[in-house]
């Protein structure tokens, strides 16, 4: 006990000394608090059609003092990545974001800007030339050259999931034309080429590091990248620890250590944040929104991530192949009640557009099927079901889906539709969805990259039936619009096409929109420099703490 007191006194003394030092000598830190409060949230959410996803940051204030004692940023996540090898598909990437970098990246507004590349040029329809930075080093000390880029690209194509996403790149064209120049071609003109380069799969890796690791799996547990943080350790199912990379080509990270803690239970994550066990909660549960937002030491950042919740109607199954039945189900659904009750207005919002507000390509005022059970009954009678019908609903068994399906069942009952709940667990549902052996389900789409055209293509093009096209729609008119999107380089024009696609989807009534969900990040109130948007996840190198 006594020694703890002693230790406390000593650290207090040190803190005071450092404070004095900071205030007097290292003056730059206090000024940088002003400078780094870059895009505060209010400014970027303009009302125009092309409004970017809302960026969010914690504004710094006058006279705040940097906390130099706290040397670790702890973030809790609800999922653990399968591997830290960027070429391997994973569903959670917070650690990857700090370790690796690509040739280009998104800024907070969704514009693509150079990162490891100094500049790039699209020489013709299908050819791209990248000039690389000359001052980049990997965590193992190796200097980055175009050989590394060539290696990365070639290697990625060997991984099936990566190759699938990057299928428009032509592997035979990859060329390290000189030490700092890299050239490649696409198979045909492809609008999302640069988006592909922002993907994790093409984060630049070093051949020597992978050889030293011995195998891809070993590399995945001992990653080496160019980013501001380097890998230290990974305790399976528990945590991943990173440390500042001092030879980073850009401005070094402000806080020395980063720890990602893996906590499944949402309430536990919240409690951990509140008790100071962590500084960032990547996924705040909807129910905890108020509590964390109004907490003594905590706050919540909310931003759009183009996550849309919807009910796909499988058009290959009778009677859903009849548009009148689909429209009837649309009229029978009171989405407003469901999302208000299940999520609440702080956490979700609604639009008739499949693309969320705040993202380019969001369509205002699309035609809509208003809640009208009588109309639903009429349509069903017209389609040959005057006494209503039974529809099976494939339901993922969890608390949120329970609530949604319970409310939906009651609503459809009022229109004469008997919803039969078919519960299934998370492992089983994917097989059923991929096979198409279901009628209706409840899904959430969160596609990368966040580009309206790309999302519409993914969700509704006939070639994606069996993977992301869950309603199994194959409509030539829709396909034509989506094909056009893929060769339209200009983002604004693509967004217009995306709006056309959405109008068509609404006409076809193949999905019932439920709502759009926001990302909710819980933060320690003393954290500064945290910025995130739907386009770009947070870079912890800019974060630091102030004394509370």
Q: CB of 274: closest distance to another protein in angstroms?
A: 6
421 touches another protein (CB under 8 A): yes
Q: CA-to-CA distance for 70 and 271, rounded, in angstroms?
A: 20
Match 């080429």 to its residue by tokens: 193
Residue with smaller CB distance to another protein, 243 or 287: 287
Q: CB of 110: closest distance to another protein in angstroms?
A: 20
36 touches another protein (CB under 8 A): no
Q: Residues in contact with another protein, total (CB under 8 A)?
A: 64
Structure token digits, residue 35: 């400078």
Among 1, 35, 47, 399, binds another protein (CB under 8 A): 399
Instruction: Name the residue among 433, 276, 270, 408 with its Cα closest to residue 342.
Output: 408
Among 291, 302, 491, 493, binds another protein (CB under 8 A): 291
261 touches another protein (CB under 8 A): yes
Residue with smaller CB distance to another protein, 217 or 374: 217
Q: Decide: residue 464, CB within 10 A, 0-12 exposed, 13-18 middle, 19+ buried.
A: middle
Q: CA-to-CA distance for 524 and 504, rounded, in angstroms?
A: 44
41 touches another protein (CB under 8 A): no
Q: List helix spans (H) across 252-322.
A: 266-274, 289-293
Show the binding pattern over residues 219-248: x = contacts another protein (CB under 8 A), - = does not. Answer: -xx-------------xxxx----------
Phi, psi of 294 (to 5 degrees): -100, 10
462 touches another protein (CB under 8 A): no
160 touches another protein (CB under 8 A): yes
Helix, strand, coil content of the chain in percent (nearest 5): 35, 25, 40
Q: CB of 277: closest distance to another protein in angstroms?
A: 6
- Number of alpha carbons in the 13 Å side-chain half-sphere of residue 386: 0
Instruction: Show the beta-strand stretches assigned E in 138-200.
Output: 169-178, 181-186
Instruction: Please enumerate in sequence order all residues whose Cβ is within 8 A of that of 489, keeping only pairs 6 or more positions apart, or say none.
Output: 189, 191
Q: CA-to-CA distance for 217 and 221, rounded, in angstroms?
A: 7
337 touches another protein (CB under 8 A): yes
Q: CB of 493: closest distance to another protein in angstroms?
A: 24
Structure token digits, residue 445: 């789409």
Judged by CB under 8 A, the chain residues 465 through 494 that form the site for another protein are 466-468
User: Would you state the torsion angle of the CA atoms of residues 89, 90, 94, 96, taken in this order, to the nearest 10 degrees?
Assistant: -40
Contact 540, 258 (CB under 8 A): yes
Please count the other Cβ atoms lying within 10 Å of the Cβ belonging to residue 296. 6
164 touches another protein (CB under 8 A): yes
Judged by CB under 8 A, the chain residues 440 through 459 that form the site for another protein are 446, 458
Please count the other Cβ atoms lying within 10 Å of the Cβ belonging to residue 443. 19
Choices 45-53, 135-143, 398-406, 513-521; region in contact with another protein by CB under 8 A: 398-406
Residue with smaller CB distance to another protein, 20 or 264: 264
Among 233, 268, 368, 437, binds another protein (CB under 8 A): 268
Among 264, 321, 364, 548, binds another protein (CB under 8 A): 264
Query: From the DSSP assignment, how many helices (H) and strands (E) are in the chain?
Result: 19, 22
Q: CB of 34: closest distance to another protein in angstroms?
A: 34
List residues near another protein by CB under 8 A: 82-83, 89, 91, 160-161, 164-165, 217, 220-221, 235-238, 261-268, 271-272, 274-275, 277, 285, 287-288, 290-291, 337, 340-341, 395-399, 402-403, 405-407, 409-410, 421, 423-428, 430-431, 434, 446, 458, 464, 466-468
């Amino acid at each position: 006990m006594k020694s703890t007191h002693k230790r406390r006194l000593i650290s207090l003394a040190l803190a005071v000394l450092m404070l004095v030092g900071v205030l007097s000598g290292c003056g730059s830190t206090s000024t940088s608090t002003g400078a780094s409060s870059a895009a505060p949230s209010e400014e970027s959410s303009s009302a125009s059609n092309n409004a970017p996803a809302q960026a969010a940051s914690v504004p710094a204030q006058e006279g705040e003092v940097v906390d130099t004692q706290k040397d670790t940023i702890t973030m809790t996540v609800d999922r653990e990545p399968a591997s830290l090898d960027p070429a391997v598909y994973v569903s959670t990437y917070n650690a990857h974001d700090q370790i690796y970098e690509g040739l280009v990246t998104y800024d907070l507004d969704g514009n693509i800007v150079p990162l490891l590349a100094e500049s790039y040029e699209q020489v013709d329809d299908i050819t791209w030339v990248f000039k690389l930075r000359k001052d980049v080093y990997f965590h193992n000390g190796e200097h980055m050259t175009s050989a590394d880029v060539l290696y990365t690209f070639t290697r990625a194509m060997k991984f099936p999931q990566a190759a699938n996403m990057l299928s428009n790149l032509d592997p035979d064209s990859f060329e390290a034309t000189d030490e700092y120049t890299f050239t490649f071609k696409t198979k045909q003109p492809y609008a999302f080429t640069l988006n592909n380069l922002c993907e994790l799969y093409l984060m630049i890796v070093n051949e020597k590091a992978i050889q030293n690791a011995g195998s891809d799996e070993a590399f995945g547990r001992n990653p080496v990248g160019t980013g501001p943080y380097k890998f230290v350790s990974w305790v399976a199912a528990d945590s991943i620890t990173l440390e500042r990379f001092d030879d980073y080509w850009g401005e070094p990270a402000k806080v020395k250590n980063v720890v990602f803690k893996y906590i499944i239970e949402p309430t536990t994550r919240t409690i951990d944040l509140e008790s100071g066990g962590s500084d960032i909660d990547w996924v705040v549960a909807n129910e905890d929104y108020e509590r964390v937002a109004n907490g003594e030491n905590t706050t919540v950042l909310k931003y759009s991530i183009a996550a849309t919740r919807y009910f796909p109607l499988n058009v290959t199954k009778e009677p859903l192949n009849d548009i009148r039945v689909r429209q009837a189900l649309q009229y029978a659904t009171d989405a407003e009640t469901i999302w208000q009750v299940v999520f609440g207005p702080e956490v979700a919002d609604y639009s008739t557009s499949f693309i969320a507000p705040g993202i380019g390509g969001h369509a205002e005022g699309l035609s809509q099927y208003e809640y009208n059970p009588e109309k639903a009954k009429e349509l069903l009678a017209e389609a040959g079901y005057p006494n209503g019908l039974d529809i099976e609903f494939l339901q993922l068994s969890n608390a949120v889906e329970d609530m949604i399906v319970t409310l939906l069942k009651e609503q459809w009952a009022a229109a004469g539709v008997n919803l039969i709940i078919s519960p299934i667990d998370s492992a089983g549902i994917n097989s059923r969805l991929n096979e198409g052996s279901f009628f209706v389900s409840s899904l959430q789409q969160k596609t990368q990259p966040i580009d309206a055209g790309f999302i519409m293509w993914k969700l509704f093009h006939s070639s994606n039936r069996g993977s992301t096209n869950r309603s199994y729609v194959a409509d030539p008119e829709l396909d034509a619009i989506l094909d056009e999107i893929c060769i339209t380089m200009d983002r604004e024009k693509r967004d217009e096409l995306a709006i056309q696609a959405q109008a068509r989807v609404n006409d076809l009534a193949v999905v019932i929109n439920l709502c759009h969900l926001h990302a909710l990040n819980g933060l320690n109130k003393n954290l500064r420099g945290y910025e995130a948007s739907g386009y770009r996840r947070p870079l912890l190198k800019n974060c630091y703490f102030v004394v509370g």
